[in-house]
A and B are shown apart, each in its own frame.
Chain A
């Protein structure tokens, strides 16, 4: 008997209706997008007449989730960056030196004089002691500085590896600490990139960690990858260093504990500064673009309490001497300290344009990147090309749909019309699901949908062909339809599960466009099986109950 329980019918049609409603916003893409943007503006800046007008373009009570358009459709920039996580080790090791020095000084009687010696590996601290007999004691003292590692995998380990090499103590970060540091570096980098991109105010950026040390950044609507790189690629590491002198050659030996830094404005001028900064950018709490007394663009900054105190003490003790403001290993300016600066705030001057000072303020405010980034992949797609692709995709999809619908009706008559309705529901449901999961539609994704249009018909064809076969053995139309659905089921499921497996593997292994394609293909399989087995069946049963035909021609 052809029979579907009422609750099942209700369920089936409720799902179809839900699909149609959720897919609807995509038909009014531009309006809904402006509505959503306006809502965001209102939430961030409070209501304004323009925002309210934009908001009114789409009713609030309607679903407003829409499919995100990928970069290849909307235009924008894509970057794959590798964070140089090892950079951080050297900074950690540098910061360790004062502690090691102080600890060993208290043991001067047994270890003698101590001296930091340069090491070929910057992530290594080498300290020479003049009394090799005290080495055991020295190691013991330095080992006391090591702290347990707080991380999931590194629990139970200490953060430093300490060994002796002749009359030198060698301190490096332990493997567990390196892993923990890498993880922290990545978290910080992600957070800072996110803040910088958000400050730029673009819509729906994607910022994802990939693998151990990579970050994928996709920003729709931005002009070029170079622009995006300028925004996020600058480390913006700011520090204030004590100046020991100047030099005219980068190869000049800076002396122990010092480093040589080029001037940003004057080529050929180098500053010799102390390696350990007086105050660093982490102590900054605010930075704003401003103008100096000569009306040149500058950046105002303010330190937190700790930084302000350190800066105050330093300026009080060094009046009349220059100090260097170092940004990303370049001296932006080296003003002479005029007086004790106690308020914890100051101004950075240099040869900035207004844009540069504004950007520098943004970068300083969002914090410095803990490590440098190397870009492995860069893609820019212009908005015109994206629009061309959308237009072409829409035309192609419309033609494909018409051709397939016409072909189905020619081949199966009334049943063909039912199949066409099912196909339209199917497409609506794909869009509903894509919007619901916040998937991104890419060009291969459109191809995936077009392919689904072709393949969704397959499940229906399997059923209809089977019904035809069963009709020939003359069991009566009701029984034939019933058997058609029943016997086609195993083929439909097997065929679709295998295709679904490939979609899952594509999703798991693929990246970028491949992933977008896998998502539409996978969702398309789910909805096409649902429409073939349930929706088509339900429509046929409905027709059959009304008409009660003696014979069915298919």
Chain B
């Protein structure tokens, strides 16, 4: 019977031959991301900078210039108008997004302004409908930024502690290094491509943390097992064996997840496209980082290998037995 095999049965790829280079490349990519973030910055949505965002739908094609002319005299400050294209739209469905900056001195969002904007736009195109109107005051947006940073930091701290408890501290440092790598690169790509960064992207970031971690822990689990199995072999070899043994699974899982995500990216509509893009990017980067960052850090730090007999049992089973009942 035919079996699709993405990875041959026994691979002996030397993943750590050039580990200094791959690790260096990751470092360079991270520095680049930070530089781009510092210079260009993220394209924050209204969740994080406050303001109003209006989504319009019309039967006639969108005329960004006419929209701008209609809104210009109102003196609302910075207005961004973008047409949205999507394969899921019908032929007579012309969508645009209009973003208006937070109005000075207004904590609450003024419905009068929104009403004026709607009237002005309907003057341009009477068939225009407003399918969503969202306003966030500057007070809330500030809190959302803080909340998001706290959530990401807390997630990282929790992971650090959990992996430390289950493995050794070196593993934990490796895992967190990989996660920081993934988050920094994701922020980097969002800065470069200027994809709108809103609250949902934070959820995507944390999912990336979850996914990447999932991947790293599976590799680490095998490393732990092999460290006991091959007591005398050098760490680099043990790492290589472990990555090769789990390679088939790593590829299988990445491919199935990517299949699902790509379907969502193409067919899921423009509202969540940014969100799905972040996840696709995260799956790719996360898979890469579990080998070339997490394991490389482990290789650099070394592991204490004088595990005595009774210690052999504890790390692998303490949760396994209690977890079974749950």
Chain A positions near chain B (C-beta within 8 angstroms): 72, 80, 82, 224-226, 229, 374-382, 384-385, 388-389, 391-393, 395-397, 399-401, 403-404, 407-408, 410-413, 443-444, 446-448, 450-451, 453-455, 457-458, 461-462, 465, 468-469, 472, 487, 489-491, 493-499, 501-503, 505-506, 509-514, 517-518, 521, 533, 553
Contact = CB atoms under 8 A, between A and B. Distances in A.
A501 B155 contact: yes
Q: Name the 3 nearest CB pairs between A and B, nearest first.
A: A454-B257, A392-B269, A454-B260
Interface residues of B, number: 86
Contacts of A444: 200, 203, 272, 275
Contacts of B206: 502, 505-506
B135 A457 contact: no
A408 B276 CA distance: 22
B245 A469 contact: yes
| Chain B interface, >50% SS class | helix
Contact of A447 (B6, B199, B264): B264
A377 B260 contact: no
B162 A501 contact: yes
Contacts of B139: 82, 376
A550 to B, nearest CB: 16
B218 interface: yes
Nearest to A466: B249
Nearest to A442: B200
Interface stretch (B20-28, B59-67, B208-216): B208-216
Interface in B175-226: 199-200, 202-203, 206-207, 209-211, 213-215, 217-218, 220-222, 225
A261 to B, nearest CB: 23
Contacts of B324: 489, 533
Contact of A382 (B132, B144, B267, B268): B132
Contact of B217 (A395, A413, A498, A533): A498
Given A376-B139, A454-B256, A513 B107 contact: no
A407 B210 contact: no
Given A499-B213, A509-B147, A461 B253 contact: yes
B43 to A, nearest CB: 18
A457 B260 CA distance: 11
Given A499-B210, A501-B162, A502-B213, 8 more contacts: A378-B109, A378-B135, A379-B135, A380-B133, A389-B271, A443-B272, A468-B248, A495-B215
Given A451-B257, A506-B203, A493 B1 contact: no
Given A377-B135, A454-B259, A410 B151 contact: no
Interface of B: 1-6, 9, 55, 57, 88, 107-109, 111, 114-115, 129-137, 139-140, 144, 147, 150-151, 154-155, 158-159, 162-163, 166, 199-200, 202-203, 206-207, 209-211, 213-215, 217-218, 220-222, 225, 245-246, 248-249, 252-253, 255-261, 263-264, 266-269, 271-272, 275-276, 279, 316-317, 319-320, 323-324
Contact of B267 (A379, A392, A443, A497): A392
Contact of A403 (B1, B249, B259): B259
Contacts of B258: 454
Contacts of A375: 108-109, 137
B279 A447 contact: yes
